[in-house]
């Protein structure tokens, strides 16, 4: 139907656990697969007026309860202000990005992943894409050690 209409919006639901969360490896791996699916399908249907994006919601779930228990037990550390001012579990926290991506206004946005985290940060998440590139004809281990801080430096919230 979307192909015939030459229009459509597909929004996959992944999770912030796709980036790797201690104690949630299996779940995170499956959610990372959704991000790869999103990127691949977006490329397949790009010329058809169909967009494909992922939302990685932060929501109140049993997995979140287990994560918060791990934080309380000191097994997992989070920044002191990581969850201040954010009411856990409200669908209202994630609904605006889903609504936007489903709208006509999001026509130029495809193959992307978004997260609104527990601190209220809206994040565009890179999925298996190049972040930085440094060129050298032949690399030695010492060269790599020298440039690694440059490669790994990224601005975050």
Residue 33 has pLDDT above 70, yes or no: yes
Q: Where are the alpha helices (DSSP H) in 6-140?
A: 25-45, 62-72, 95-102
What's the pLDDT at 12?
A: 98
Q: 56 and 18 in contact (C-beta within 8 Å)?
A: yes
DSSP string, 107-124: TT--S-EEEE-TTS-EEE
Q: Which residue has the higher pLDDT, 78 or 155?
A: 78
Residue 71 has pLDDT above 80, yes or no: no
Residue 147 has pLDDT above 60, yes or no: yes
Summary mean pLDDT of the chain:
84
**Mean pLDDT to the nearest integer, 97-121:** 90
Task: For residues 3 and 26, give the distance between their C-alpha atoms in angstroms, rounded to a whole number.
Answer: 34
- Report which of 106, 4, 5, 6 is spatially closest to residue 55, judged by C-alpha positions: 106
Task: For residues 123 and 113, give the distance between their C-alpha atoms in angstroms, rounded to a whole number.
Answer: 8
Q: Which residues are catalytic?
A: 27
What's the pLDDT at 17?
A: 83
Task: For residues 137 and 1, give the distance between their C-alpha atoms in angstroms, rounded to a whole number.
Answer: 49
What's the pLDDT at 122?
A: 87
Task: For residues 106 and 50, give the distance between their C-alpha atoms in angstroms, rounded to a whole number.
Answer: 10
**Mean pLDDT to the nearest integer, 67-84:** 71
């Amino acid at each position: 139907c979307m192909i015939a209409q030459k229009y459509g919006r597909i929004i996959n639901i992944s999770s912030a656990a796709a980036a790797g969360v201690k104690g949630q490896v299996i779940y995170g791996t499956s959610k990372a697969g959704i991000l790869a699916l999103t990127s691949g399908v977006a490329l397949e249907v790009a010329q058809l007026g169909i967009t494909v994006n992922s939302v990685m919601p932060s929501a109140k779930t049993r997995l979140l309860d287990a994560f918060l228990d791990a934080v309380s037990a000191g097994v997992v550390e989070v920044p002191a202000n990581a969850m201040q001012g954010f009411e856990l579990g409200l669908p209202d926290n994630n609904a605006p990005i889903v609504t936007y991506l489903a709208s006509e206004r999001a026509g130029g946005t495809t193959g992307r992943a978004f997260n609104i985290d527990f601190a209220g940060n809206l994040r565009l998440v890179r999925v298996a894409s190049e972040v930085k590139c440094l060129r050298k004809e032949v690399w030695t281990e010492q060269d790599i050690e020298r440039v690694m801080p440059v490669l790994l430096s990224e601005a975050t919230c």
